Structures are given as structure tokens and as C-alpha cells.
Structure 1
Amino acid sequence: MEETKSTLTKEKGIDQTVYEKIQEITTSANRPYYAKMKDIGKMFVRDKIKYLVDEDSFEVEDGLFARCKDEDFLPGDAVVTLVAKINGQPVAIIANDLTIKAGTWGKKTIEKIIRMQELAEKRKIPLIYMIDSAGSRLNEQFETFTDRRHAGKIFYDTARLSGLIPQIALVFGPSPAGSAYLPALCDFVVMVNKNASVYLGSPRMAEMATGEKVSMEEMGGARMHNTVSGLGDMLVETEQEALDAARKYLSYLPQNWLKTPAKVEAKPPVDGKRIEELVPENQRIPMDMYPVIERIVDKDSFFEFKKLYAKEMITGFCRIGGRSIGIVANQSKVKGGVIFPESAEKAAHFISLCDAYNIPLLFLVDLPGFMVGSKVEKEAIIRRGARMLSTVANATVPRIAVIVRKAYGAGYVVMSGASMQPDACIALPQAQPAIMGPEAAVNAMYYNKIQSIEDPAERQQFIQEQREKYNDDINVWSPASELYIDDVVPGDRLRKDLIQRFDLYSQNRDVLEGIAQKKTVVRRG
């Protein structure tokens, strides 16, 4: 039946109503607060999403018209929830809209967030939270706090999704009170310097409750969380940098725990000195591990994780021969590379993250062991060190340990030494695995003898002789001769060996190791 002109006009009018509502909800032009945001370098929520997703991406948005009939102007109830493509793969996005009631959570905000979490779980796709919210609306607390599908379920879902799908928190602004746990439960947290803040109680609340006077930065600022608390994994200066970081981070990970990261075309490492030149034979000379990493990994592929926290331990993603790899390395230029409570926790978090998403692990070992003293005992070095040890022992991804130089005591063990059953424990010719270094060992074994030698010169000569003898006993050839380590590798052959070994150890792994249904929870502490 031929449609009449009046019917067509009517239908066009109905459609136009929809488009007008969409325009009203999605534009920044009707947001008075937007001008102030621009002045401090903040982007409109939909501009952030547009910047992040692929240029030709589809967008499936649910809940766009939430609360569109309310008397108050509450477009989307202050949150955007949609699915779009990043790096060619679908990703779920939950983004607070700071221009509406300071991005606070209302009754439909929470329902939209929960529904998007549920969709991400069903579709097994990564989830990005763009956090910029003043918390929950107190005037709506009865409808948002107590029931099974109220705010607490957001944290329940985030915790349950850990290790199933990658979860990223981009903290652009405040995340106070209970909502502070949202980034804390995510795998990877990026914070914008001077704008982001995460805290359970504001400085004003702290002063009222305890009398403490503290600034916002000291209480929960981005830099504090990246350098002191360890809640932040990356500190950036702009919102664009945070979005770029999320995109790059996802390039190293699979869509979910059942898949493996995509292998890309390999690139040669950066030009530079040979590893033999970078690694001093003298164990007492501090060594910078970063140039060694650069000579192993594909050019420009190293993506550091928690760079500003516990710098004596280096963690980060890279590609070696095009394969996504997680690196855990000691940095002897900082605190001698000794493991402190913070560095043990940092490593454990990163190792569990790699294990959850099937990313092989490379350990680069150069450390004298764990820190000792009453201070670190009070800071739970045993408990936090055991957490790292347990995480290494239970990791089921391919693991290779390279003893670069010294590998003493429990430090050798926790850095995936041979007794932790890695796929391979290999060494550079400069390697020196032992219970302790020559200075401590000679002092322990010959303390009484040393004290009995009265002549200072004679005493020093005895000490030096015993140290040299001890050094001869713990050089790399002793454990190699006894098959305690699997191979001694020249520095200029290390990258090639690692590529071949990771290719070998990655084959048929789920079947061979009986781990097809294993799930790893990603834990920060």
C-alpha cells in the first residue's frame, strides 16, 4: 500500500524528535560547567571517548535517555555507557559526565554502570572506567545504597571480573569515599597529575574526625598514589596522555582470560652497546638495567608499569620477537636492587596481572636479596615477600629467569630461580648465584678467625683471600656444571635464545600443563 504524504511527514516528525533529544543529551553546548572545565584542560566526556576509540568504530550506547523525563536536566544521569572498538577490538566504556551534578552517582547512574559491567562479562570484552565523579548523591541515597542492585554491586562486579577481562581505571578527577575502591579493584590505574584524587575521607572530613590538617595532594593526590601508596600505576600530565596509555596498554593484552595476546610483526632492538659492555663483572658496581632491557626487546615496545613506585624493581610490558612479554627486573642503581616490602608487592601485582591474561614472564635477576632490619619487618616484608613468592609459584604462564649478575639468597628464589620451577633458568657469564655475597659470607664463616688476627694488614689480606676463594666457588660455571641452571648464554645471543624459548614454551600450554580452566585474580596488595 502506497504511503501517503501526511504519513511520511508524521514519521519524519517523530524521528526528528528523537534526533533533537539525542542532540540535547550529547552536546556540550548546554552545559554551563563545560567552559570552566576547558580552562583547566579537561575534556568533555564524549570528546574523551571520541579521542580514545578507533576513528571508524561502531558505537552501541545503552541508557542514553535515562532520566530524560526528570524535571532536572540529568542527561544520561551523568554517565555514558557504551561499547566501541579500540585497536580493532570491542571494548566496554563507562564514563562519568562531570558537567552533570559533578558526575555524581544517581539511581540510574548505578543501574547503567552495572548493566555495562554485566554486558562486558557476557561478551568477554575489556572494560574501561573513566572516573571523574564527586561520589554518590546524598539526596538519592535511599534508592542507591542498600539494595542488591545498588552501588555496592558495582564493587562486587569489579572484584568478580578480576582476571576474567582487563579492567582499566582512568582517573581524570575525584573518586572519593566508597567510590575510591573502584580504581583500587582495577588491573591498571592511570591518574592525571593535579586533577585526579582518590581518598576515603576528604581533608575537611579528616580534620573534623581526627584533627589532622592535610592538603588534597597529601591525602589522595595522583602523585602521592603513584609514588607512595602504589594505588596508581601510571602518572600522566594530560587527559589525552591517559587515553593514549589505555590504548597502548590494551595492545599488549588479549580480550579476556581465555585468549592469548596477538603476536605482531617483530622489530629489531634499538642500536647500542652490546650486553657484554652493559653488564659489569664486578658485582659491587651498580648497573642500570634499562639499557639491557632495550637490547633485548623490540624497539620502542617497552611499556613501564608503576614506574614511579618502588624503583628498585622494574616491571613492564614489551614485545620480544613480536610476542607480548611481561618483564620483572631488579634495578641495582636504586637501593642496590634490594627487595623492599613495596617492591615485593609491586612485582606480585604485575606477575598476577600477566598470569591472568596469558602473558609470558621474563625475570632479569641482579640483586643481593631482601632488605633486613626492624623497619622493614614492621612493614611486613615477610608477608609481602611471601605474597610475591606465592604469586610466582602459582603462575602458569611461560617463565624464564635470566641471572644477569648476582642472585643471592631468597632474592634468587623469589625472582623465579630454578627452585621455583620456571620453564628455564639461564645465566649470562657474569652471573653469580649464591646464598649470600662474598662479603657477608666470609664474615659469617670466619668471624671469630677474623677477630683473632690483630695486625690490620694481615687481617685485611686474610679477608681478601677468602673473598676471592668464595668468588671462585660461586661463579656461573659451578651451577652450570652441576645442571643447576639450564644454560650459560653470551649476551649477544640472549635475545635470539629468548625468542626461541618463548615460542617453544608457549606451544600447547593449556593442554600440557592442565590449566585450561585456571583463573587468576589480579591483586594489588
Structure 2
Amino acid sequence: MTDLSTTAGKLAGLQQRLEEAHAPRGEKAVEATHEAGRLTARERVEHLLDHDSFVEIDALARHRVEAHGLDADRPATDGVVAGYGTVDGRKICVFAQDRDIFDGRLGEVYGEKITKVQKLAATTGVPLVAFLEGSGARAAENVAAMAFYSTIIAGQAKASGVVPQISVVTGELTGPHALLASLADFTVMVEGGAAVSLTPPEIITTVTGAEVDPAADLGAQAHAATSGTAHLTAADDASAVTAVAELLGVLPANNRAEAPRDLDARVTGPISENITDRDRELDAVIPDDPAVPYDVHDVIGRVVDNGWFLELQAAYADNVVTGFGRIEGRAVAVVANQPVALAGCLSAAAAEKAARFIRVADSFNIPVVTFVDVPGFLPDTGEELAGVVRRTGKLAAAYAEAAVGTLTVVTRKAMGAAAMVMGAKHLGADLVFAWPTAEIAAVAADVAVPEIHAAELAKAERRRKDTAAMREKFTAEYEAEALTPYLAAERGLVDAVIPPNQTRGQLVEGLRLLDRKVIYPPAKKHPNTPL
């Protein structure tokens, strides 16, 4: 037996307690987790952080409840592994919820640990990564536990826009636990085991009679494609950790810092001397037939460094593409209409998706690069009732309020109101470029011709002339004169019409200039845009 009256004994006692914290439910529980193909809460943290960099806080914390027999079950950590360390040498704070302890339910000490690491991240200005799994408050701790949900949520809200927050859903997440994922800047969900729902599946079944399979109905794929809650999905815990590390690599430590920049990627010399074969491939991306779609990934991949692009919410509202890349080593946020999905039309979900992404990028000093090919809004009454007006207002406001550099490239169609909310010059874009293939106009020919030539067509009809031929002639004239980038360039809506092969070079120069961008917004508490 350890003699705690000696220094050696006290050191041995500490070691024994720390060993318990490493496997609070014993080695059999660890083995069961591994047999299920999952990592333990501690292993998730250690896999994310650089080797031996984890500094744990509150490892010896235990709950203080004596009622209901809980005084005989006081596992170390109380269900949360928390602390700080480094990822690629950069400091972060992290916590991981452990479902092996009280089914991941929140208790008072559990909540205290999370709020402590939240405050540590916010006050030191480092990102916070949360591995989430759990299901509501502990009944034995009642309101003392329940109150901590509000405290944790308030901490997330206060840290929002101050430090990046990334949530990783590794198991079932129900009740108020689910809100912790929704308030993060980015959410990663692990396929197979992760599921998110405010109402527990068994209650949904009791009330509605419908059987619910959490993994299939409320899992990673469902939230990636249908709700948009998941920004990224991962095959397993280890892949989720890799995804988080990639995200951290393009994010700054906080809202006053700059994202990591690869100085070795710096370009020297004028634009004309740096055009590569890959740049020249852009000259052939746009089909001759304006009705034929193309994949905007073919554009993005030829503009960003080494073709690397981290797409977010790829399966949700795929008529808009959002994600991070690098240009000349600098992190950029890319927003692009996708012609192969709904012909690139804006929809309610796509507008909201882009708005949220722009707002996050602006919070963390990441310039926004927009590729525009939008023929209009998706014409559907369902869209109108889904709130396309209100949700597009979010997109317009996100662009208008952005304090970071905003650069826009019009590749093909930029029609009407949809074009005006996609990084337009008068909405606040710093630099707008257009390719010669751009069609920038208030309306398409089929709408413009009947309006502009109404009198002539009416007169021809009265005289029983061939109005079809006249319409064809007027349409050709309108397309040649109006569906070009040149009227917009004459009026300053476009700063320059450029060959596609110059796109990367122009963006490099523009981003260098906008490094110096400074704006002084009016004094106000916060914008009152349609949340």
C-alpha cells in the first residue's frame, strides 16, 4: 500500500489518480470502444494534437452529488477530457465529451470544465475544438446541471467571431447537447455513429409513431445533404481529426490574427510572365453554347494554389459552392455559382449557405473570392414560401457588410437581382473582373425583347407580318449588344474585362493590394439583418 506520508508515496498517489483519469471506466471500456472501431475521448484529443503537446486541465475533477447512490460512482474527469495543446505548432484549446461516463449526460462539474476551457480559449485568443457526444442533463443533478447548458451556449455566443470554433460530432447528440454543434463555426460529423437531434429519437417515435434510425435518419449524411448542419463528414474518428487539422490550417488563431500563409508560394514578376498551361486551360472552360453547363470546380481548381480546395457543405444546396483555398499562399474563402446544379440559379438554401460562409470568413480576416455564373433565382413557388426573399437578404447583407477584401470574377451569366447579390460592385466588392464570355444584364433576351420592342411587335402583328422573324432579329441584336461584359465595364460595374488565363494573376495582385484594406464602419451595436 502506498505510504502517503512520504514524498515518494504522494508522487505514486498522484500517478495512480492520473492513470484512473486515463481510463475512468477501466480498460475493458477502452477495449470495447476500440472493438466498435472508435477512439476514446482522450484518444481523439491526442490524435488531433501534436505529439506530447496536450496539457490537461481538471483531469481529477469528480462530481459532487451524493444522492441517488452517486456517491459510490465518481469517475475521474466526470465525462469531459479538456485542456490545450498544439496542432502543427499552433496553440488551440480542446475538450472531448465521453459517452462512457453517465451516457455523456451533462452534470455540474462537467459543465464547469467546458466553460473553463471556453473562457481559456476566448481570453488567450486561440481556436476551440469540441468533440461532442451526449444526451441531455443528468436527472440526479436536475436544474444545477440544466443551467450549465445556458452558460455553455452563452460562452459560445460570446466567443463567436473572436476565436474559431469547430465541433466534431462523434456519437449520438441529442437534446440541448445538439445546440453545441449548431453554434460552432464548422461542424464535422463521423459517419456511422454520429447523429444529431434536439428531440431524442425515442420521443419522436412515441409522439409520431414513426420509427427512427438515428444513424440513417439523423446521421452524418442526412445532416450533410438535407439540413446543412454538417460542413464535413468523415468515415471514422481518425478521418475527422484530419479534417479538423485541415480546417485549422486555413484559419487564424483569432479575429485579430492572420491565417497561416505559405511564403514560399509567393509569385514574382508581372502577370504576363506567370501565365501557365494550367491558366490557359481556363480559356476553354466556358462552352460556346450558353445553355451547356460546366463544372465550376474546373475553374476553382485552376485558380487556387496546386488545385487544393477544401469544400464545405458540398452535399447541401450544391448550386452554390463554398470552401477554402489558397492563392499565393494566402487563405481565401471561395463562393461560386455551380452551373451543373439547377443551372446555377440561386435558391433559398444556397443563399443562406453562402451568407453564413461569407460571415465566418469576414469574422476571421479571410478575403472572399466569388465566381459568378447566375441566370437568376430558382423560379418556384416552393422557393418563395421557403423564404428565398428573406434568406437572400442575408446574402446581400453578408457581402455589403464584409470588411475583408472581396473580389468577384464573372465567368458567364450575371442576370438581374441574383447577380446584384453575388458580390456585385455596388454591393461593396473591391474588385470585379469579367471574362469576355460574361453576360451581364438586368434581364435575359426573352424578357427584354418583348418589353423594348413592344410597339414594333404590336404594329407588326396588326399588319400580320412575321413577328417570329422580328423577334429572332431583335433577340440576336440584344444578345450582341447587351449580353456582354462591356456595358457593365463602361459604367464601372466591372473594373476590368480580362482573358480567363489572367484570372489567377489578377487575383494575386488584387489580394496583395487588399491586404492594406481599412474601413471604418459606423458606430452601432450590431447589424439587424434578417437572421
Tell me whether the two structures share a fold, i.e. TM-score over 0.5.
yes
Are positions 1:177 and 2:175 aligned together?
yes
What residue ranges of structure 2 are gaps of 5+ in the alignment? 65-70, 268-275
- CA drift of 1:213 comes to 3.8
Q: What does residue 134 of structure 1 align with?
A: 135
1:422 to 423, 429, 445: 429
Instruction: Specify the SS of the correspondent of 1:122.
Output: helix
For 1:189-268, list aligned pairs within 5 A.
189-217=187-215, 219-264=217-262, 265-266=264-265
CA contact (8 A) 1:270 1:295 kept: no
CA–CA separation in structure 2 for the residues paired with 1:177 and 1:31: 29
Q: State the AA in 2 paired with 1:416.
A: G
1:67 to 62, 71, 82: 62
CA contact (8 A) 1:414 1:420 kept: yes
Q: State the AA in 2 paired with 1:228.
A: T
Q: State the AA in 1 paired with 2:440.
A: P
Instruction: Specify the SS of the correspondent of 2:173.
Output: strand
Instruction: Specify the SS of the correspondent of 1:280.
Output: coil
Q: What does residue 271 of structure 2 align with?
A: none
Greater displacement, 98-107 / 231-240: 98-107
Q: State the AA in 2 paired with 1:43.
A: L
CA–CA separation in structure 1 for the residues paired with 2:510 and 2:254: 24
Instruction: Specify the SS of the correspondent of 2:158.
Output: helix
Are positions 1:469 and 2:477 aligned together?
yes
Are positions 1:309 and 2:304 aligned together?
no
CA contact (8 A) 1:84 1:91 kept: yes
For 1:285-300, list aligned pairs within 5 A.
285-300=292-307
- CA drift of 1:187 comes to 0.2
Q: What does residue 3 of structure 1 align with?
A: none
Q: What TM-score do you get using the length of structure 2 for normalisation?
A: 0.90
- CA drift of 1:56 comes to 4.9
CA 1:436–1:401 in 2, change beyond 3 Å: closer, same or farther?
same
Q: What TM-score do you get using the length of structure 1 for normalisation?
A: 0.91
CA contact (8 A) 1:355 1:520 kept: no
CA–CA separation in structure 2 for the residues paired with 1:444 and 1:125: 57
1:361 to 354, 360, 368: 368
CA 1:208–1:9 in 2, change beyond 3 Å: closer, same or farther?
closer
Q: What does residue 14 of structure 1 align with?
A: 10
What residue ranges of structure 1 are gaps of 5+ in the alignment? 1-6
Are positions 1:87 and 2:95 aligned together?
no
CA–CA separation in structure 2 for the residues paired with 1:433 and 1:392: 19
For 1:271-290, list aligned pairs within 5 A.
271=278, 274-290=281-297
**CA deviation map 1:450-471 (0-9, x unaligned):** 6875999944432322221111
**CA deviation map 1:173-218 (0-9, x unaligned):** 1110111110110000000112111111123202323444433246
2:520 to 493, 514, 520: 514
CA–CA separation in structure 2 for the residues paired with 1:93 and 1:520: 29
Q: What does residue 102 of structure 1 align with?
A: 103
Q: What does residue 272 of structure 2 align with?
A: none
- CA drift of 1:340 comes to 0.4
**CA deviation map 1:221-252 (0-9, x unaligned):** 22111111111111221111111111110111
CA–CA separation in structure 2 for the residues paired with 1:379 and 1:322: 39
Greater displacement, 257-266 / 333-342: 257-266
CA contact (8 A) 1:253 1:261 kept: yes
CA–CA separation in structure 1 for the residues paired with 2:235 and 2:464: 57
- CA drift of 1:27 comes to 3.2
CA–CA separation in structure 2 for the residues paired with 1:488 and 1:230: 35
Q: State the AA in 2 paired with 1:156.
A: A
Are positions 1:123 and 2:124 aligned together?
yes
CA contact (8 A) 1:281 1:405 kept: no
Instruction: Specify the SS of the correspondent of 2:72.
Output: coil
CA 1:488–1:141 in 2, change beyond 3 Å: closer, same or farther?
same
Greater displacement, 218-227 / 197-206: 218-227
CA 1:250–1:516 in 2, change beyond 3 Å: closer, same or farther?
farther
Greater displacement, 315-324 / 479-488: 479-488
CA–CA separation in structure 2 for the residues paired with 1:487 and 1:498: 12
- CA drift of 1:61 comes to 1.5
Instruction: Specify the SS of the correspondent of 1:364.
Output: strand
**CA deviation map 1:457-501 (0-9, x unaligned):** 944432322221111222122222343311011111111111011
- CA drift of 1:94 comes to 1.1
Cα RMSD, aligned residues only? 2.8
CA contact (8 A) 1:164 1:256 kept: yes
**CA deviation map 1:264-312 (0-9, x unaligned):** 1328999486111112243221121101111100014311111110000
Tell me how many residue pairs correspond in the alignment. 511
- CA drift of 1:44 comes to 1.2
CA–CA separation in structure 2 for the residues paired with 1:419 and 1:31: 63
Q: What does residue 396 of structure 1 align with?
A: 403
CA 1:10–1:455 in 2, change beyond 3 Å: closer, same or farther?
farther
CA contact (8 A) 2:279 2:502 kept: no
CA contact (8 A) 1:28 1:44 kept: no
CA contact (8 A) 1:78 1:103 kept: yes
Are positions 1:44 and 2:40 aligned together?
yes
CA contact (8 A) 2:194 2:215 kept: no
**CA deviation map 1:349-372 (0-9, x unaligned):** 100000000000001000101123
2:510 to 495, 501, 514: 501
Q: State the AA in 2 paired with 1:18.
A: L
CA 1:444–1:31 in 2, change beyond 3 Å: closer, same or farther?
farther
- CA drift of 1:448 comes to 8.3
Identity %: 28
